[in-house]
Structure 1
């Protein structure tokens, strides 16, 4: 399994993640009831993006001094491209979380707690999936074609059904949980479980958390193979993925109030998945340069956002 990640890089990355999570939990108050304002979400989004870019710069500096400028340029560009892909595809997570919180009527001051545990679970789950995926690729090269075909089909389906919304009322998982667990109809602060009359009950907050984790698992199945299309280095795949995930809560609260303005973004994300799927299917015939991939992905996302805003402006004028 070829990787630029040595013990020092892994330790540095782990320390950064641990410190930032500790700051969120102990200093910012991630475990307290708290309504996140647009200003706070903007500041934290800027912090996470700046930290991610600083990590890319630090990685480039380290590799430039240890293995040479060419590898440093390549790996830094792979990190930024993987980060952008994950950030873009995470936009779908935001739309789903909005529907989940609306369906379960989760108060705004409790949403941060659900997403806190959702992100912690996503870090563990994605780490396992990435190392498993990297091992599979080293053992079975042909699995890249499977990933490519899967991404291409997923992109086509996402484009075709972009306007359809999930029917949470008839969701099989929710119905199964409600049949097999005692569920309260009311909230009990930040508690996921409460004891009433000697019986243990789950609260609606727990149901929302389960669906948040499931939604992330579903989207991880798309996004992780997409980053493997850029690089098979597990260090780059994991770090770009985790940095994007760490900033996902701030991104949610930043976009929650304006998500409806980006009605065409899903079509752009679908096209991105199709492009990456084609790139992976062509990997042994023609390797599309990482810089070109980054430019294409940025243009597609930027164009879909611009088209969404133009569409909204025309509708408002009408």
Structure 2
């Protein structure tokens, strides 16, 4: 189906309107979204994407509808994986929780521009050179292999070349000034970490686009479907971040599921390239009779892999341990950073204690794995030690009624297995 200029215009106007609404009514005033707020708006954006997909199905036909939903689900899954990296970057820059919305919205807008450029470039290449399918297929297979490699947080550290260059060439400060990109320090105009974190987010978005766009072109070559599925998968990503923030660490097998999906689409692309082959040194430039994977089968495989991956992750004791230790680390860092608000400190310490109790209740092999993280253990022990010192001060500070997490004398994380 050929998409008219009017439909393109209406679609782009809808996207721009949603972004402007998101900024002026949610992001402009810094605040921490409640779980209820994040849930409502996440559901709304997913609902808009589904309604749009139904409209595509009705007016564009069964094939276009299936292609849209296959592309949307794939891009949404990749977007959720991207949230892990955003979380690492913002944690390394210690972005205030209330200001994280603006950073995320910037990342989404930058992604829209970057991926639109990649989509137009990819469409032009595909229309001119059929062998591009081989390149796209190889990119996805390589990406799938990389997802299977173990990596730590340093793999996505915010201290990359661009950030180091910016710190060297421009005056920067380590302190935030609300959500301002520049501030005045010692009479000089300097960049705040807010601008640097946006540069880091923008740089990683470019890398994400390199495997995201080939993935969706492996499902459809309709530029309108590629564009809309990509855009609607990104809209609502900010709300989703705050909704599943605590759940992200539980999805420990998501990278394996995404590797399977990208590998599957990579093979599908190469099979399609063989079918459309015009490369002289492959079968003398003639097409190769191979089986082509239908979009319906692709959609079934994508949804099936994601469902299995999520279920296994949520039922995993390793996932529970990962979630608990990351939450404990987060609460310990937050507790140590707070200087004045005693009530909030007590609240954070209470959450830390709860996570430590979860860790101590884990099976021995998982407790051993947790205790092997020396940096996390040291951070938690510092927070517990400082809390006890503050309580010991006496009348100068309120006495905590929070129970000690180390009553057995073996430290905050319990006895070694």
TM-score by length of 1: 0.91
Q: Cα offset for 1:175? A: 1.8
Partner of 1:4: 2
Larger Rg: 2
Q: CA deviation at 1:99?
A: 0.7
Between the aligned partners of 2:197 and 2:185, the Cα distance in structure 1 is 20
Find the counterpart in structure 1 of residue 50 from structure 2. Answer: 53
Matched, 1:121 2:118: no
The alpha-carbon deviation at position 44 of structure 1 amounts to: 1.1
After superposition, the C-alpha distances for 1:278-304 in whole angstroms (9 at most, x for unaligned) are: 110111233201011011011111111
Residue 101 (str. 1) matches residue 90 (str. 2): yes
Given that 1:159 and 1:271 are in contact with CA atoms closer than 8 Å, whether structure 2 keeps it comes out as no
TM-aligned CA distance change 1:169 to 1:236, over 3 Å: closer
Q: How many residues align?
A: 307
1:293 aligns with 2:305: no
Name the SS of the counterpart of 1:205 in structure 2: helix
The Cα of 1:161 is off from its aligned counterpart by 3.0
- Kept in 2: contact 1:162–1:266 (CA 8 A): no
TM-aligned CA deviation for residue 169 of structure 1: 6.7
Name which of 278, 282, 303 aligns with 2:271. 282
Is the 2:119–2:223 Cα contact (8 Å) retained in structure 1?
yes
Question: Is 1:171 equivalent to 2:160 in the alignment?
Answer: yes
- Partners of 1:293 and 1:317 lie apart in 2 by 38
Aligned with residue 224 of structure 2, among 209, 223, 235? 235
Residues 167 and 146 of structure 1: is their aligned pair in 2 closer, same or farther, counting only changes over 3 Å? closer
1:57-84: CA deviation from partner (whole Å, max 9, x where unpaired): 1122223xxxxxxxx1000110111000
2:27 match: secondary structure: coil
1:56 Cα offset (Å): 1.0
Q: 225-234 or 188-197: which moved more? A: 188-197
**Is residue 253 of structure 2 the alignment partner of residue 264 of structure 1?**
yes
CA distance in 1, matches of 2:320, 2:174: 42
Residue 131, structure 1, aligned to residue 120, structure 2: yes
For residues 13 and 247 of structure 2, the distance between their equivalents in structure 1, rounded to whole angstroms, comes to 34
Helix, strand or coil for the counterpart of 2:316? helix
Alpha-carbon deviation of 1:196? 3.7
Q: How far 1:170 moved relative to its partner?
A: 5.1
Tell me the residue number matched to 2:40. Answer: 43
Query: How far did 1:139 drift?
Result: 0.7
1:160 alignment counterpart: 149
- Given that residues 57 and 66 in structure 2 are in contact (C-alpha distance below 8 angstroms), is that contact kept between their aligned partners in structure 1? no
Structure 1 stretch 306-315 or stretch 229-238: which is displaced more? 306-315
Matched with 1:68 is: none
SS of the residue corresponding to residue 141 of structure 1 reads coil
Q: CA deviation at 1:191?
A: 0.5
1:314 is displaced (CA, Å) by: 7.8
Supply the distance in 1 between the matched residues of 2:72 and 2:158 (Cα, whole angstroms): 34
Equivalent residues of 1:155, 1:274 under 8 A apart? yes
Q: Contact 2:35/2:243 (CA < 8 Å) preserved in 1?
A: yes
**Distance between the aligned counterparts of 1:109 and 1:62, measured in 2?**
42
- Identify the range of structure 1 (211-220 vs 305-314) with the bigger mean alpha-carbon deviation: 305-314
Which structure exhibits the higher relative contact order, with contacts defined as CA atoms closer than 8 Å and separated by 6 or more residues?
1
Instruction: Quote how far apart the aligned CAs of 1:36 are.
Output: 1.5
